Amino acid sequence: MCGIVGYIGQREAYPVIIKGLERLEYRGYDSAGVALYDGKNINLSKTKGKVSDLKKKSSETVSVKGNIGIGHTRWATHGVPNDVNSHPHYSNSGDLVIIHNGIIENYESIKKELINRGYVFHSDTDTEVLINLIEEVQKKEKVKLGKAVQLALNEVVGAYAIAVFDIKKPNEIVVAKLGSPLAIGMGEDEFFIASDASPFIEFTNNAIYLEDEEMAIIRLGKEVKLRKIKNDAVAYPNILELQMNLEEIEKGGYDHFMMKEIYEQPRAILDTYRGRLLADKGLIKMAGIDQHLDKFLNANRIVIVACGTSWHAGLVAEYIFEDLARIPVEVEYASEFRYRNPVITDKDVVIAISQSGETADTLAAIKLAKENGAFVFGVCNVVGSSIARETHAGAYTHAGPEIGVASTKAFTTQITVLTLIALKLAQEKGSLSKERLNEFLTELEYIPTKVEIALQSNEAIEKIAEVYKDSTNCLYLGRGYNFPVALEGALKLKEISYIHAEGYPAAEMKHGPIALIDEHMPVIVIATNKGHYEKVVSNIQEIKSRKGKIIAVVTEGDEQVKALADYVVEIPDTLEALTPLLTTIPLQLLSYHIALMRGCNVDQPRNLAKSVTVE
């Protein structure tokens, strides 16, 4: 779960690599490094800290000249974040240099073997073991770099996206991939290497995404040559034309990506249903579903696998699918599902939800489901991601790049896609009347405007944040469709503000958590006028009589809760099943402001990374 960048061409490599690393910091930001070839020497600079620290260090300590280079931003797995464990890593001779995203699981046995042969290790990383293994193979077999990389990779177990440079062969970079993403940007007489396309989007729209177990030799002035790592078979590059643009990956006047992404939700939701929701015709068109309708309609059940926020979107989907389409649904943490020997058959449809499309546990769950004969459908945001490619069919969320580590627009667009699927299936099954379906389709079209209205509470929420920013604990309560939103609200707060927060179904409170309530405990209650409103009002009474502080998210015009709560935030009225798309907005804003007031790094919270490509 690190970011890698490389450049080979006519430009100065350093600024390209630094800018690229800044864009990839969402993948890890505990240390960073760069190695540049100036035509004679490799100049390497690396440091614990962020890319900004690297910039400072490298400009003070090394020459940053050169047209070839590789860079890395790290999320530590093996070895604490410090200067020595940062990438790039040299081989013992100093001729080879590597950057790596992933984990080499059998590195210890390889390391022992290499130590026996006289190799010395300076870091605690698995990556330094890999580069020395490549060097050993190169020496022993007397092969070129590409072959040495291939042979070495056949000895390792684990996951990797690597880029390797050899000072003896300075016009090429060798890259390889298994389990971690790697894209090659194809410019004119220049090539870019990166974990995703964002580092090179202003230079080229053409990219090759390596498949698992593929490697490429990128040589200046030559065609990129792809081959399979397991054998020598030639692999044929599929050059994709990218749709992403530069604006989408910059902050656009906001202080943080998270805020920008919260405010992008009206547009993101609209983009997600555009062309799929045909309200005037009473239709939903989704190619991925239309082509496999029989699989969904004949399924015994749907099993949803995901992690984190995507898992919360899956929980909302469970309510929607069962309520509207009357299809049984189970929602599983991908990390549990993959190891618990689940009963899965060819009568199951598995939906895998993932913003990044790279989450290791979700990928493993998909593979397991496929081995057991299930039809697997992906709901991903990142086009061409591993999960998008590994699933039988799928639907993209069209949220645009999500860079803030805390997921916001991914959540609401995932719910949008899943709602469309549920409505489509409900229509096909006849479980929803035509009138009710039309009501949904029409209301969905209002959602972007209603999200905009919900966003107008920003200033009021900032004031509430000021009151509760020093809390040490926080409870989030919701019922029905809004129970998963309570979980998501709590996750948002804890991950970016480091305040301990728990989400609960409101009625569960009396089975334990109520013991926590006193005058210091803020309780955020989602109390919209639909569903179990009266029951939630009773829960609010219970909190109030124990002196808990109540911040309630209510439907506009609400009077009853307003009379009880310390603070209320209004959202526009909508259908009960669509409320999560609105109730989640104030919770995102609240965690943003609290985190900011506590001096936390909102976009890059500690210990986290945007895409979790390790298990």
Identify the H or E element spanning 415.
Answer: helix 409-429
**Nearest approach, Cβ of residue 353 and ligand F6R (Å):** 7
Cα–Cα distance, 539 to 554 (Å, whole number): 14
**Three-state SS across 117-139?**
CCCCCCCCCHHHHHHHHHHHHHH
Contact predicate 317/329, CB 8 Å: yes
Q: 126 vs 488, which CB is nearer to ligand F6R?
A: 488
Backbone angles phi, psi at 33, to 5 degrees: -160, 165
Give first-to-last CA distance, the chain, whole Å: 10
Burial (CB count <10 Å: 0-12, 13-18, 19+), residue 234: exposed
Whether 610 is a known active-site residue: answer yes
**Nearest approach, Cβ of residue 501 and ligand F6R (Å):** 13
**Nearest approach, Cβ of residue 275 and ligand F6R (Å):** 23
Altogether, the residues listed in the chain come to a count of 615
Q: 92 vs 611, which CB is nearer to ligand F6R?
A: 611
Contact predicate 564/533, CB 8 Å: no
Q: 180 vs 574, which CB is nearer to ligand F6R?
A: 180
**Nearest approach, Cβ of residue 306 and ligand F6R (Å):** 6
What number of other Cβ atoms are within 10 A of residue 473's Cβ?
A: 14
**Nearest approach, Cβ of residue 499 and ligand F6R (Å):** 15
Backbone angles phi, psi at 281, to 5 degrees: -100, 0
Q: 427 vs 611, which CB is nearer to ligand F6R?
A: 611
Distances (CA, A) of 212 to 68, 178, 233, 387: 25, 4, 14, 12
Q: 499 vs 509, which CB is nearer to ligand F6R?
A: 499
Q: 47 vs 359, which CB is nearer to ligand F6R?
A: 359
**Nearest approach, Cβ of residue 564 and ligand F6R (Å):** 30
Could you say which of 2, 380, 474, 600 is catalytic?
2
Identify the H or E element spanning 426.
Answer: helix 409-429
Asked if omega into 88 is within 30° of 0 (cis), the reply is yes
Q: 33 vs 404, which CB is nearer to ligand F6R?
A: 404
Binding site for ligand F6R (CB under 6 A): 307-310, 354-356, 359, 362, 406-407, 491, 495, 611-612
**Nearest approach, Cβ of residue 218 and ligand F6R (Å):** 28
What number of other Cβ atoms are within 10 A of residue 68's Cβ?
A: 22
Q: 181 vs 266, which CB is nearer to ligand F6R?
A: 181
Backbone angles phi, psi at 57, to 5 degrees: -65, -45
Distances (CA, A) of 325 to 229, 377, 429, 433, 436: 45, 17, 7, 11, 12
**Nearest approach, Cβ of residue 380 and ligand F6R (Å):** 8
Query: Helix, strand, coil proportions of the chain in percent (round to 5)?
Result: 40, 25, 35
Whether 600 is a known active-site residue: answer no
Give 481's DSSP letter.
Answer: G
Residue 320: both structure tokens together: 């929607």
What number of other Cβ atoms are within 10 A of residue 169's Cβ?
A: 16
Contact predicate 28/161, CB 8 Å: no
Strand pairing category for 348-354 and 329-333: unpaired
Q: 227 vs 593, which CB is nearer to ligand F6R?
A: 593
Could you say which of 177, 295, 549, 610 is catalytic?
610
The residue number with the shortest CB distance to ligand F6R is: 308
Cα–Cα distance, 596 to 592 (Å, whole number): 6
**Nearest approach, Cβ of residue 386 and ligand F6R (Å):** 10
Cα–Cα distance, 195 to 27 (Å, whole number): 9
Q: Tell me the catalytic residues.
A: 2, 610
